Amino acid sequence: MAEAWRTARDEARTLLVRELDSARHRRWLGEYAEFARSEGQGARVVEGATPNRVRDTAPSRILAAHEQVRAYEAVLRTADVPMLHELRIAAKWLRYSIEFVREPLGPDAEPLIARVTALQDHLGLLHDADVAAGQARAFAAAHRGSLRDEEVAAIERYAARNEERRAALVGSVGPAWRAVAGLGFRRRLGRVLAGL
């Protein structure tokens, strides 16, 4: 099984290297470098009182990202693994939204980022266990005729351990969730955003 996974990884690496060496990618790099060196390129023209400063737009964007995370409150008790993965993605956007303006928010933003990162990491471990169990079971099913009984048994044990880990992580998501969705986080976030 490990050899088959190494082969798949090597094939994916070959595709990645081919893409990074392509003329299309080199062209994109050149265009991006030109964009980065040219002050004002791509800048939006702002007229009148259109909000355009970080202090004017960041709070609502961060709160909207937090709303997306909190929306899972209604379904968290019955959420399946794919839905929890979607929560992880929402948490990632919240984290990125805060990190993007970390410096203007000041040092009080760091504990908020840490809490969101903890939720994201918890859900990431859950997703990893789910993927590992699925891949192991799929591999065993696809190669059942060519594997020895002890190899099949080892793969089954590996899959079962990951399924147990997945179940434990699903059952223990509550504390990481409450650290981001709870009143304490909301109050702290409000104070940090008010300082912009």
29-50 pLDDT, tens digit per residue, is 999 999 889 988 878 888 888 8
Instruction: Give how many domains the chain has, as a whole number.
Output: 1
- pTM summary value: 0.83
**Any idea what the CATH number is for the domain that residue 161 is in?**
1.40.20.10
Q: Where in the sequence is the domain holding 105, given as residue range(s)?
A: 54-194
pLDDT digits (tens, 9 = 90+) for 107-117: 999 999 999 99
Is 33 within the bounds of a domain?
no
Is 18 within the bounds of a domain?
no
Is 79 within the bounds of a domain?
yes
Work out the number of other CB atoms within 10 angstroms of the CB of residue 52: 12
Q: What is the DSSP letter of 108?
A: T
Is 15 within the bounds of a domain?
no
Sign of CA dihedral 152, 155, 161, 162: negative
Average pLDDT (57-68) is 97
What CA–CA distance (Å, rounded) separates 181 from 66?
A: 8
